[in-house]
Amino acid sequence: MLSRYGLRCFALGYLSLLLLAPLGMVFWRTFEHGFWPAWDSITTSDARHALYLTLLIAAIVVPANTVYGVLCALAIVRGRFPGKGIVNALVDLPLALSPVVVGLALLLLYGRTGWLGPWLTDHGIQVVFALPSLVLATIFVSLPFVVREVVPVLREIGTEQEQAAATLGASRFQTFRKVTLPAIRWGVAYGVVLTMARALGEFGAVSVVSGHIAGKTETMTQYVQAQYEGFNVAGAYAASVLLAILAVITLLAMTLVRRKEETV
Amino acid sequence: MAIDVREVSKRFGEFPALENVSVEVPTGSLTALLGPSGSGKSTLLRVIAGLERPDHGRVLLDGDDVTKRPPQKRGVGFVFQHYAAFRHMTVYENVAFGLRVQRRPKGETRTRVAELLELVQLDGLAERYPAQLSGGQRQRMGLARALAVEPTVLLLDEPFGALDARVRKELRVWLRRLHDETHTTTLIVTHDQEEAMDVADQIVLMNHGRVEQVAAPRELYDEPANEFVMSFVGPVNRIGGAFVRPHDVELQLQPSDGCEEAMVERLVHLGFEVRVELVRGNGDQFSVQISRDRALELELDRGQIVYVRPLRERTFVTD
C-alpha cells in the first residue's frame, strides 16, 4: 500500500517540479497585469503572422506526415523488399539527430551556395528563408511519430482480417479503407497528436532555415525568442501561453474523441 | 469436382510444405483435411483460397483454372481458426461485409444477413461487437460472414481449434447439420481425427506435405494404407512387425492357443470402456481396450498375469 502511494507521490511530484511549476509560472506572469495586456501583446501584426505561419506549417506537415507515416508503416510491417531494415532504421533518424543539424543540412542542400540552390534560384523558387524550408524542416523533425505509433498496432492486428476481407471480395483499397484503417485509427490519431505537437513547437531546425524575418518567416516559437531577447518579456510570455494552449487543445481533442468512441 | 488440386508443390524457404499434392473434392461433399501440425494441410487450404501461391501445380474450382486468380475472384468462403473478426464492426456489419463490398442492393443485404444470422443462431446479437461474443459465437459469425457471399466452396481452417472441448463438439454437430441444409462444398482442416471422422464424408490424410490416403472415415480406420495412417486415426499397438488396435485384442485369464502372457500394469477407466495397460515378457508395453462389464467380470487388478491374443492385426510393407 505504502509503496503504491509512494510511487504515486513520486510521479506527481516529479511532474509538478519539472512540468507544472514552470508552466504555471508562465501563465501567472502572463496574466499578472490582467487579461488585456496579454491579449494586446499577442495581437500585434507580427504576433498574428507568427501564429498564422505556425498553423499553416502544421496544416501542411500533419497531413503529409500522416499519409507518409501510414504508408511507411505498412511497408515496414507488411512489405517484403530489400533494404527494409534500412528504411526502418532511417525513420528514427530525426529522433536521434539534433534539429540544428537538420536545419544546416537543408541550408547546405537548398541554400544559395548549396547543391540545389542555384538551380532553384534560376527557376525563381525560393526555398531557404521562406515557407518551403520551414515546411521541409518541420516535416523532417516530425517524420517518425505516425510511423512509430502505427507500426506496433499493425503488427498486433496481424494480416488475418485483411485476408478475410480479400476472400470476401474486397479489393486492396476497400480492404485498406474498411478494415486496416479503422483498426489502426488510434495509432494514427496518437501519431497525429504527437506530430502536431512537434510541428507547433519546433524551434531548432526551423530557426536555422527561417532567417528570422519578423512578420514574414518568423514562427510562433521564434517570435517568443525574439520578444524575449527584445526585452518584451510580457509578449514572450503571452505567446508561450498561446503555444501551450494550442498543445492542450490538441491533447484534449484526442482524449474527447477517444472517450466518445469508447462509449459506443 | 468442386475443388481439383493438381500436383501442387509449395516451399517456404527450404521447408517443403506441399510436395506434389493432388486432391479432388466432390461437389456438395464435406471433406476433411486431416494431419499432424506441419503436415501442410493449412497451406493446401490457403493455396485453394488464393492466400498462398503454389510454386508448381494448378488449382481448379468448378472446372475453372483459378491458379493465378487473387482470392477476391475465387468465390471461396474462408473461416479462420482465430475468427479474423472485424473488431470495429458489429456482428451485422461483419456478416454484411462481403455483400457491401459487392455493392448489393441494401434491401437484399438486409434480408440475406438476417437469414444468415438466424441460420447460425445469432439473431438478436446483430448489434454486438465481436469482443462481446463468446468464442463459439464468434466462429459462427465467421461462418455466416463466409456464407454471405454464396461461395462455391467453403474452406475452414481449424475452425474449432481455439474453442474448448465441449463447444467444439457442439459446433461440430451443428456444422454437419448446416452442411446437410446448405450442401455447400466444404473443406475443413483439422488435426483432430475424431473431429474429421465425426463431420466428414471423405478424409484426406496428410503428412510431411504429402497425401497419405483419401478415404471415407470408416475405410480409413478399417483399411489404412500404411503404418502412419493406422496410427494416426486411432490408438495402435505394435506387436513384432504387426499392428493391432487395442479393441482388437482378446484378453483372458487362462492360457490358450496363440496366446501370449502379459502383466497388468495399470487400469484406466474411460467411462464406458476400460483401457488395460500391459507389459509383455520382453518388456514391451501395449494396451487393450475392453468394455466395463468385461473388466468387472475378469476382476482385473494390477500385477495380475493375463493372456492376450490379437483378433485382427495388420502388417505393412515398408519401403
Chain A residue with Cα closest to B99:
A168
Mean pLDDT, rounded, for B237-250: 87
- Residue to test with chain A: of B66, B89, B101, most A Cβ within 10 A: B101
pLDDT of A2 > 80? The answer is no
List chain A residues with CB under 8 Å of B86.
161, 164-165, 178-179
Residue of A nearest to B77 (CA): A167
B240: left (phi over 0), alpha (psi -120 to 50) or beta: left
**Residue B19: in which H helix or E strand, if any?**
strand B15-25
Q: Nearest by CB to A168, from B85, B87, B101: name it.
A: B101
Closest of A31, A38, A23 to residue A235, by C-alpha: A38
Q: What pLDDT score was predicted for residue A264? A: 47
In this prediction, residues A148-166 reach a mean pLDDT of 94
- With a cut of 50, say whether residue A131 has pLDDT above it: yes
Comparing CA positions, the residue from A210, A49, A55 lying closest to residue A136 is A210
Selected for mutation to probe chain B from A167, A175, A177 (highest B CB count within 10 Å) is: A167
Task: Map out the domains of chain A with their CATH numbers.
Answer: 1-32 (no CATH), 35-263 (1.10.3720.10)
In this complex, the residue of B87, B98, B142 whose CB is nearest that of residue A169 is B98
Question: Which set of grid coordinates corresponds to residue B160?
Answer: 474449432
CA distance B79 to chain A (A): 8
The answer to whether residues B215 and B233 touch, using CB atoms and an 8 Å cutoff, is no
- Give the residue among A253, A196, A175 at the shortest CA–CA distance from A63: A196
* Of residues B81, B60, B310, the one with CA closest to residue B185: B60
ipTM of the complex: 0.87
Strands (E) located in B121-201: 153-157, 185-190
A171: which chain B residues are within 8 Å (Cβ-Cβ)? 72, 101
Assess contact for B81 and B159: CB atoms under 8 A.
Answer: yes
Minimal-distance CA residue of chain B relative to A182: B88
The reported pTM is 0.83
Which pLDDT score, from 0 to 100, does residue B122 have? Answer: 93
Residue B26 confidence (pLDDT): 95
What per-residue confidence (pLDDT) applies to B263? Answer: 92
- Answer yes or no: is pLDDT of B210 > 70: yes
Average the pLDDT over A160-171 and give the result: 95
Are A164 and B78 within 8 A, CB to CB? Answer: yes
Which among A160, A169, A183 is the nearest to B101, CB-wise? Answer: A169
C-alpha to C-alpha distances, B82 to A168, B117, B136, B168, nearest whole angstrom = 17, 20, 11, 14
pLDDT of residue B318: 67
Q: Does residue A95 register a pLDDT over 60?
A: yes
Dihedral of the alpha carbons of A99, A102, A106, A107, in degrees to the nearest 10: 70
The mean per-residue pLDDT over the stretch A169-188 comes to 93
Label residue B214 by pLDDT band (50, 70, 90): very high
**According to the model, what pLDDT value does residue B10 have?**
96
Q: Using a CB–CB cutoff of 8 Å, tell me whether A125 touches chain B.
A: no
A159-183: average pLDDT: 94
Contact residues, chain B, for A167 at CB < 8 Å: 49-51, 71-72, 74, 76-78, 146
Nearest CA distance, B281 vs chain A (angstrom):
54
Q: Is A260 a residue whose pLDDT tops 70?
A: no
**Residues in B lying within 8 Å of A, measured between beta carbons:** 49-51, 70-74, 76-78, 80, 82, 84-88, 97-98, 101-102, 142, 145-146, 148-149
Residue % of chain A over a pLDDT of 70: 97
Average pLDDT over residues B81-103: 95
Q: How close does chain B come to A86, measured CA to CA in Å?
A: 23
Rounded to the nearest angstrom, the minimum Cα separation between A264 and chain B is 10
Q: What is the pLDDT of residues A135-156, one digit of tens each?
A: 999 999 999 999 999 999 999 9
Side by side, the strands of the sheet bearing B260-269 are B249-252, B305-310, B260-269, B273-280, B285-291
Collect all residues of chain A within an 8 Å Cβ-Cβ radius of residue B87: 161, 183
Task: Specify the pLDDT at position B282.
Answer: 85
Chain A residues 150-169 within an 8 A CB cutoff of chain B? 160-161, 163-169
Local structure of residue B72 (DSSP, 8 states): G
Nearest to A163 among B51, B97, B145 (CB): B51
pLDDT tens-digit readout, A9-56? 998 899 888 888 888 888 888 888 888 888 888 888 899 999 999 999
Task: Map residue B247 onto helix, strand or coil.
Answer: helix
Measured between CA atoms, the residue of chain A closest to residue B74 is: A167
Residue A5 has pLDDT above 90, yes or no: no
For residue B241, the tally of other CB atoms under 10 A from its CB is 9
State pLDDT tens for residues B27-61. 999 999 999 999 999 999 999 999 999 999 999 99
Q: Who wins on pLDDT, B44 or A236?
A: B44
Average pLDDT, stretch A185-196? Answer: 91
| Chain B touched by A139 (CB under 8 Å) | no
Q: Do A170 and B101 touch (CB under 8 A)?
A: yes
Is A169 in contact with B70 (Cβ distance < 8 A)?
A: no
**For A195-224, b where at least 16 C-beta lie within 10 A, e where not — what string?**
bbbbbbbbbebbbbbbeeebeebbbbbbbb
Please give the pLDDT value at position A231: 85
Percent of chain A with pLDDT strictly greater than 90:
42
Which residues of chain A neighbour B74 with C-beta distances below 8 Å? 167
